[in-house]
Amino acid sequence: MKRMNGNCNIVRAGLLCGGIGAYCIFLTSMISCTKPLTENEEIGKELYDIHCSECHDENQLGLKKVPPKLHDVFSYSMLPDGTTPATGEAVRQVIIHGKRTMPAFNGRLTGEQVEDLVAYLHKK
Structure confidence by residue, pLDDT tens digits, 20-46: 555 555 544 455 566 899 999 999 999
Residue 55 confidence (pLDDT): 87
Q: Is the pLDDT of residue 53 over 50?
A: yes
55 and 109 inside one domain: yes
- pTM: predicted TM-score of the whole model, two decimal places: 0.69
Residues 28 and 46 in one domain: no
Decide: helix, strand or coil at residue 116: helix
Q: Going by C-beta distance under 8 Å and a sequence separation of 6 or more, which residues neighbour residue 58?
A: none
pLDDT beyond 80 at 4: no
Q: Exposed, middle or buried, 9 (CB in 10 Å: 0-12/13-18/19+)?
A: middle
Predicted confidence band of residue 49 (pLDDT cuts 50, 70, 90):
very high
CATH label of the domain that carries residue 89: 1.10.760.10
Residue 28 burial (CB < 10 Å; 0-12/13-18/19+)? exposed
> Do 64 and 111 reside in the same domain of the chain?
yes
Give yes or no for a contact between 12 and 28, defined as CB atoms under 8 angstroms apart.
yes
Percent of the chain with pLDDT over 70: 73
Q: Which domain holds residue 11?
A: 2-33
pLDDT of residue 3: 39
